[in-house]
Amino acid sequence: MNSRRTLLIGLTYDLKTDYLARGLDAEAAAEFDSPETIEALEQSLAELGYAPRRIGNIKQLVERLAAGDRWDLVFNIAEGLYGAARESQVPGLLDAYQIPYTFSGPLPLAVALDKALAKRVVAAAGVPTPGFALVGDAAASRDAVRAAGLDYPLFVKPVAEGTGKGVTAKSLVRQPEDLEQACAELISRFAQPALVEAYLPGREFTVGILGSGPHARSLGVLEVVFNEQAEAEGYTYANKQLYESRVEYRLVDDDVAREASAVAVAAWRSLDCLDGGRVDLRADANDHPQFIEVNPLAGLHPVHSDLPILCRHAGLSYRDLIAGIMRAALTRVGLEPYAPGLSA
């Protein structure tokens, strides 16, 4: 007879429909999760032998904690709504109550959300990343770019957004005359500095990562190939939203892809990211992949999110992915996972 106690797994998340009902537009709510994602997580966790319990966003978590509710582990995908460290709020609160959770802690999440800070950390660790300037005043953008030693073309985006928000066809700036306007629009729209990077003209990749520290490994390298209908400048917000008609995903394993995998794992470890996520890279003119950004809270919609898409191309089911994340997290915090899952 098996006397093992079923682990109670809380689910923290920001539900997109809640924020749309509050008046946020589709782009502002783009990072939040759909009901399908929560249902898929709940189903996978139950099939793996755990007892999932929905919690919701940080305010709902506060109410549950105040009421005395506790969980063996929280599966956290809450993105947060306010502040530069919004992704760190739920993990910080769980740390205060000594409740373990999946994925990275407050510090890696805060650093990863700030793309400029993340680039400084990985560069200090010897991970290649394109040169950049951080522009808080659009009028000073040309001086900032000149001081950073950057040459045109450049790529401009918000410093602390995800899901391609703020990345458009205008992000690629080919001449100084267009730089100030591009920065001004982003600074005004997102109320944060603009990140101006040296533009990399090569292939675009996203690498799935499973595990933490020395146990972190690549799940595969997905090349993002844009067709004639896509905005050719990069993985823009519109390309992400309309990926089915604009983007072809290819699982690749050539020399450049293997280099991308190595760069991604090195970046993941240098930022102390945990359990699972994605690293985005783009190759330079010499076909050497460079770090663009890390997503330690990668989207987990079973059909539309990049990490599950990558896993499907690699022959891994959605439940395999969730099992691997749970194994990585539970092993890390000293609990025993039920299902074998993926080795992290």
Report yes or no on 67 lying in a domain: yes
Listed residues 198, 215, 239: the one ending a domain: 198
Number of folded domains in the chain? Answer: 3
Listed residues 141, 166, 198: the one ending a domain: 198
Mean local confidence (pLDDT), 202-221: 97
Q: Same domain, yes or no, for 191 and 208?
A: no
Q: What is the pLDDT of residues 6-15, one digit of tens each?
A: 999 999 999 9
Mean pLDDT, the chain, integer: 94
Residue 231, pLDDT > 80, answer: no
Q: What is the pLDDT of residue 1?
A: 37
Q: Torsion-angle region of residue 56: left (phi > 0), alpha (psi -120 to 50) or beta?
A: left
Report yes or no on 223 lying in a domain: yes
Find where tokens 């995908």 sit.
Answer: 77
Listed residues 198, 217, 249: the one ending a domain: 198
Domain holding 190: CATH number? 3.30.1490.20
Q: Same domain, yes or no, for 217 and 315?
A: yes
* Domain span holding position 62: 8-109
Q: Same domain, yes or no, for 161 and 220?
A: no
Residue 2, pLDDT > 60, answer: no
Q: Same domain, yes or no, for 165 and 87?
A: no
Identify each DSSP E strand in 57-173 by its residue range.
Answer: 73-76, 132-135, 154-158, 172-173
Mean local confidence (pLDDT), 204-208: 97
Q: What is the pLDDT of residues 264-319, one digit of tens each?
A: 999 999 999 999 999 999 999 999 999 999 999 999 999 999 999 999 999 999 99
Mean local confidence (pLDDT), 73-81: 96
Q: Same domain, yes or no, for 175 and 157?
A: yes
Q: Same domain, yes or no, for 226 and 172?
A: no
Residue 19 burial by Cβ neighbours in a 10 Å radius (0-12, 13-18, 19+): middle
Q: What is the C-alpha separation between 60 and 13, in angstroms, rounded?
A: 10
Report yes or no on 263 lying in a domain: yes
Q: What is the pLDDT of residue 233?
A: 66
Report the predicted TM-score, pTM, of the whole model to 2 decimal places: 0.93
Q: What is the pLDDT of residue 130?
A: 98
Report yes or no on 117 lying in a domain: no
Report yes or no on 193 lying in a domain: yes
Q: What is the pLDDT of residue 317?
A: 97
Report yes or no on 321 lying in a domain: yes
